[in-house]
Structure 1
Amino acid sequence: MLKKIYGAALIGTKGVLVRCEADVEQGFPTITFIGSLAASVREAADRVRTALGNSGFHLEPRRVTLNLSPAELRKEGCAYDLPIAVSLLAAYGELPENLLTDTLFAGELSLSGEILPVRGVLSMVRCAAAAGLKRCFLPLENLREGSVIGGIDCYGVSTLAELSVLLRGRTPLPEPAVFSEESLPLEETPDFSDLAGQELVKRATLLAAGGRHNILYIGPAGTGKSMIASRLPYILPAMSREERLSVSEIYSISGLLPPDRPLMTKRPYRSPHHTVTGLALSGGGQKPRPGEISLAHEGVLFLDELPEYHAATLEVLRQPLEEHLVHIARVSGNYTFPANFQLVCAMNPCKCGFWPDRNRCRCTESQVRTYLSHISKPLLDRIDLCAETEAVPFAALQQKKRPKENPVMQRAVERVRNIQERRFQGSGIHFNAEMSPAQIEAYCSLCPEDSAFLESLYNTGAMSARALHKLLKVARTAADFDGSAEIQRAHLAEALAYRSPEEKYWGSISKLARQSIRYPHTRRQH
């Protein structure tokens, strides 16, 4: 007797339906698997046979053939245990048909018949709902995660015996699980008011959030660089439902989705240590998993102490910053993970952290050059804003109560993001930072005097074509915050000011060490 049951495979972050076919015939007792299977799936024969026996099913020894299709798709992991077991029971005539059609099964089996949780349930249920399946049976621990999708009935089961009772109709099905965001625990929200001083750096952070620009904070240790970076996600607009599901899928297949929070509602913030490898950053492995870049999808990737990272590790960032995707090639197939993140970096200006203050800095000019050279020019060109932090005055530290700043900053960012949505409607992009050269020409026009100034600056070799475009994108964002349709001189000056630290530290060090480059005064409020 031939029976077909649905399971699901994971390709990247997406689920793909897999049909599990079981055929039972008279013949030499054996179980044969076909369908491009990894060792973990072939081992299911022993797990399933023992689990069925310990669950009270004593099946007559026969010749069993199990096919998992589509055949060209590589099947890995233990989530196929449950559909294999159900297809066997159905093929032996132990289960009726009514609850087997249009149903997804996913779960790992222990030898005792317990149904264990698996990774990637969110993606599996999502693909089942998209395919029009009516219900799914999941491990009890994965039930809340599966119920996030909606449009498909989700039931949680803890043992194979419990599942068989439900499928045989001996016990009526319980009410399907219903997910409510109100049931999620509240999260603590750090506020920018916790940071004393650094108003110009906060302004740079606001520009970065508004136009989704990559930003580098540079300054002595203890001046608040990490504090500012950790608060940036909290002034970004709330994620849409599609963004929440996309991020949650990544965390689900990585095994990082908290049990009490099956849906990610806050933008991710990832801060890998500087000893992280390129593989851990980009993702990979024999069975590719998302790396830190993909875990920061729709959020912030923060790299603290940037020069301490290995040069090869930093170069991994270049392609994802342009394409917003990570591509991984394996013999078993090609995998693609989303990586649409905002890059935020921080660093000291030298090894001791006090350059160019010659009264405190112990580094030689050669040591400073070596330290700064760890960051390649191509990577530096992909950073739109460079903000310099300074020591905070004692009086600012003593200020007791400061009003909350996050709500005001977030409203300003949302207003600017709405301007960009209208500007780029139908173009396939959403932020000023993503503008193409043609769009820069269309939306970043300058008056003749400002255009001539930028031309002279470019002709001196002070910046690359990419850096020039980054400058205009930041100026466009500054104009959006002011509600200005055109880029004015003040907007261009502000964008240039936030590139000044780059020239200060990566320009002619011996020359610029004798001069002080300061930000122009800005009167703009959030």
Structure 2
Amino acid sequence: MLVKVYGSAIHGVSAQIITIEVNVAGAGVGYHLVGLPDNAIKESSYRISAALKNVGYNIPGKKITINMAPADLRKEGSAYDLSIALGILAASNQIEAESIGEYIIMGELSLDGGLQPIKGVLPIAIKAREEGFKGIILPKQNTREAAIVNNLEVYGVENIKEVISFFNEGKPLERTEIDTRKEFHDKIDSFPFDFSEVKGQETAKRAMEVAAAGGHNIILIGPPGSGKTMLAKRIPSILPPLTIKEALETTKIHSVAGKIGAETSLMTVRPFRSPHHTISDVALVGGGSYPQPGEISLAHNGVLFLDEMPEFKRTVLEVMRQPLEDRVVTISRAKFTVNYPASFMLVASMNPSPSGYFPDDPNNTSSAFEMQRYMNKLSGPLLDRIDIHIEVQKVEFEQLSDRRKGENSIKIRERVLKAREIQEQRYKDLDISYNAQIGPKEIEKYCELDSASQNLIKNAMEKLNLSARAYDRILKVARTIADLENSEQILSNHIAEAIQYRSLDREFWNA
């Protein structure tokens, strides 16, 4: 008897329906699994056999042929255990399963028949609804994630016996339902850190506000203990809240990477990723034999924080060049290409010298050669892609001991939101959300300068020997500063402030 059960495969951050055709023939004995399965799927026969035996069923001693279509697409992982097991039971007439084709069925089996969580549930659920399936059956740990998708019945199970009873005896399963919008809005302003906790550093706070308002990349340069990491961790609290669309995009990526917890459904706050400096280039941008999203994709719609940036391997940093410009990562293999979104805000920090205290090092422990070698770890093209370079000074005792609270994140966020609203209105007819995304055409149209501003930036270009890309960055940042002041025209004071945010372009650092 032939039975078709439906599962799904992940390709990039999207899903594709997989038809699992199970045929049990009366003549002969054997177990044949075809359709480009990987080793985890090939090993499923042992898990399925033990699981079925432990819940009172058996793999029949007949010729079993299982085809996973489309046969030319490689299938990966152990998530097909449940669908293959049910297909075998239905095809061998051990259970009645007339409605089995109405559901996407996925789950990894334990030897006792229990179910383990799987990856990529959200894109699978979205695909199931698009293809007109009635519902999806999956491990209980994944139900909240799948229940984000409306107009789809989501059933979570703990053991294969529950699924058998559902199809064979009509015993109902517990349906999981979530009010996505209510849950989203209840948690949208939940942040563990606040800018009011930062002592002093008013210049750095201002730079962070400008960066958040325009979505600009920023690097903080300062001695150890000056508060660089403290500032970086608080930047999500002043960024605009995620929209429902952005939340779904972000959740899909984390779902594919298996980063969604059992108690989490929709991601409600912008991600903040802070990889260690020993990370490899593949782990950062994504890839591998079976491509997975990297840290820059996990930071999509959020913040990627690189603490002590010069300590990262140069090859790792250089692979970020293209994603920083294009906001997408393309992983190419011989037979396929995968695209992962990577629209993130880069926040980096570094010490000003190997000793950490240049130019205030009393012992002058860093030689000119050591300084040059340290600075050379960051290439010019990479620094050009970072809009704002800001020096973070050591905090004095008077500031540390001051018990007064600084301006909190809510007030800063209000100004950021107003600036973002201006930008959204300005670019409403373009595929652009904020100033950091604008290209040469938009710069020419929206960043016009008066003669005073033109002379100021000309002098800066000549004195600091800035590149054309740095020129564009200054104009973008000046546009954001003008938006924060609700100014239609970019004025000379806006240009002057933007130039001040190019610390690493100065002769002081490049000597």
**Number of the residue aligned with 1:363:** 366
**Pair 459,496 (structure 1): closer, same or farther in 2 beyond 3 Å:** closer
1:282 to 274, 280, 285: 285
Alpha-carbon distance in 1 for matches of 2:177, 2:92: 30
**Number of the residue aligned with 2:315:** 312
TM superposition shift of 1:45? 2.5
Is 1:377 the counterpart of 2:380 in the alignment?
A: yes
Secondary structure of the residue that 2:101 maps to in structure 1?
coil
**Number of the residue aligned with 2:408:** 405
Instruction: Tell whether the 8 Å contact from 2:31 to 2:63 is kept in structure 1 after alignment.
Output: yes
TM superposition shift of 1:52? 2.2
Instruction: Tell whether the 8 Å contact from 2:304 to 2:347 is kept in structure 1 after alignment.
Output: yes
1:347 to 347, 350, 356: 350
Alpha-carbon distance in 2 for matches of 1:117, 1:322: 36
Is 1:265 the counterpart of 2:265 in the alignment?
A: no
**Number of the residue aligned with 2:22:** 22
Q: Which range moves more in the overlay, 330-339 or 263-272?
A: 330-339
Secondary structure of the residue that 2:234 maps to in structure 1?
helix
TM superposition shift of 1:210? 0.5
**Pair 358,333 (structure 1): closer, same or farther in 2 beyond 3 Å:** same
Q: How does 1:132-147 map to 2 (within 5 A)?
A: 132-147=132-147
Alpha-carbon distance in 1 for matches of 2:173, 2:281: 48
**Number of the residue aligned with 2:484:** 481
**Number of the residue aligned with 2:51:** 51
Secondary structure of the residue that 1:490 maps to in structure 2?
helix
Instruction: Tell whether the 8 Å contact from 2:448 to 2:490 is kept in structure 1 after alignment.
Output: yes
TM superposition shift of 1:147? 1.4
The superposition leaves residues 23-50 of structure 1 with CA deviations (integer Å, 9 ceiling, x where unpaired) of: 2222211122221211211222232233
Secondary structure of the residue that 2:259 maps to in structure 1?
coil
**Number of the residue aligned with 1:524:** none
Unaligned 5+ segments in structure 2 are none
Is 1:391 the counterpart of 2:386 in the alignment?
A: no
**Number of the residue aligned with 2:10:** 10
Secondary structure of the residue that 2:28 maps to in structure 1?
coil
The superposition leaves residues 428-463 of structure 1 with CA deviations (integer Å, 9 ceiling, x where unpaired) of: 111111111011000000012322443454356711
Instruction: Tell whether the 8 Å contact from 2:352 to 2:358 is kept in structure 1 after alignment.
Output: yes
TM superposition shift of 1:174? 3.2
Alpha-carbon distance in 1 for matches of 2:227, 2:152: 47
The superposition leaves residues 282-306 of structure 1 with CA deviations (integer Å, 9 ceiling, x where unpaired) of: 2222222222111111111111111
Secondary structure of the residue that 2:260 maps to in structure 1?
coil
Secondary structure of the residue that 1:484 maps to in structure 2?
coil
Alpha-carbon distance in 2 for matches of 1:45, 1:101: 22
The superposition leaves residues 201-226 of structure 1 with CA deviations (integer Å, 9 ceiling, x where unpaired) of: 11100000000000011111111111
Instruction: Tell whether the 8 Å contact from 1:193 to 1:404 is kept in structure 2 after alignment.
Output: yes
Alpha-carbon distance in 2 for matches of 1:408, 1:348: 30
**Pair 48,505 (structure 1): closer, same or farther in 2 beyond 3 Å:** farther
**Number of the residue aligned with 1:61:** 61
Instruction: Tell whether the 8 Å contact from 1:22 to 1:88 is kept in structure 2 after alignment.
Output: yes
Letter in 1 for 2:219: L
Alpha-carbon distance in 2 for matches of 1:454, 1:96: 77
Is 1:124 the counterpart of 2:127 in the alignment?
A: no
Instruction: Tell whether the 8 Å contact from 1:277 to 1:313 is kept in structure 2 after alignment.
Output: yes
TM superposition shift of 1:6? 0.9
Alpha-carbon distance in 1 for matches of 2:179, 2:78: 26
**Pair 452,54 (structure 1): closer, same or farther in 2 beyond 3 Å:** same
Unaligned 5+ segments in structure 1 are 510-526
Instruction: Tell whether the 8 Å contact from 1:50 to 1:112 is kept in structure 2 after alignment.
Output: yes
Is 1:169 the counterpart of 2:169 in the alignment?
A: yes
Is 1:104 the counterpart of 2:107 in the alignment?
A: no
Give TM-score, length-normalised by structure 2. Answer: 0.94
Alpha-carbon distance in 2 for matches of 1:96, 1:187: 48
Alpha-carbon distance in 1 for matches of 2:476, 2:221: 21
**Number of the residue aligned with 2:255:** 252
Secondary structure of the residue that 1:24 maps to in structure 2?
strand
Size of the aligned set, in residue pairs, is 508
**Number of the residue aligned with 1:203:** 206
Alpha-carbon distance in 2 for matches of 1:175, 1:131: 20
Q: How does 1:179-194 map to 2 (within 5 A)?
A: 182=183, 188-194=191-197
**Number of the residue aligned with 1:518:** none
Secondary structure of the residue that 1:101 maps to in structure 2?
helix
Secondary structure of the residue that 1:77 maps to in structure 2?
coil
Is 1:240 the counterpart of 2:254 in the alignment?
A: no
Instruction: Tell whether the 8 Å contact from 2:452 to 2:492 is kept in structure 1 after alignment.
Output: no
Alpha-carbon distance in 2 for matches of 1:133, 1:170: 18
Secondary structure of the residue that 1:425 maps to in structure 2?
coil
The superposition leaves residues 35-90 of structure 1 with CA deviations (integer Å, 9 ceiling, x where unpaired) of: 12112112222322332232222454222221111122110101111111122222
Q: In percent, how many aligned pairs have the same letter?
A: 39
**Pair 179,105 (structure 1): closer, same or farther in 2 beyond 3 Å:** farther
Instruction: Tell whether the 8 Å contact from 1:388 to 1:501 is kept in structure 2 after alignment.
Output: no
TM superposition shift of 1:417? 0.9
The superposition leaves residues 8-31 of structure 1 with CA deviations (integer Å, 9 ceiling, x where unpaired) of: 111122221111111222221112
CA RMSD of aligned residues (A): 2.0
Alpha-carbon distance in 2 for matches of 1:483, 1:125: 43
Letter in 2 for 1:311: R
Alpha-carbon distance in 2 for matches of 1:114, 1:258: 19
Alpha-carbon distance in 2 for matches of 1:302, 1:463: 25
Secondary structure of the residue that 1:485 maps to in structure 2?
coil
Letter in 1 for 2:442: Q
Letter in 1 for 2:19: R
**Pair 397,60 (structure 1): closer, same or farther in 2 beyond 3 Å:** closer
Q: Which range moves more in the overlay, 261-270 or 378-387?
A: 261-270
The superposition leaves residues 207-250 of structure 1 with CA deviations (integer Å, 9 ceiling, x where unpaired) of: 00000000011111111111101100111111112221222222
Q: Which range moves more in the overlay, 358-367 or 338-347?
A: 358-367
**Pair 251,469 (structure 1): closer, same or farther in 2 beyond 3 Å:** same
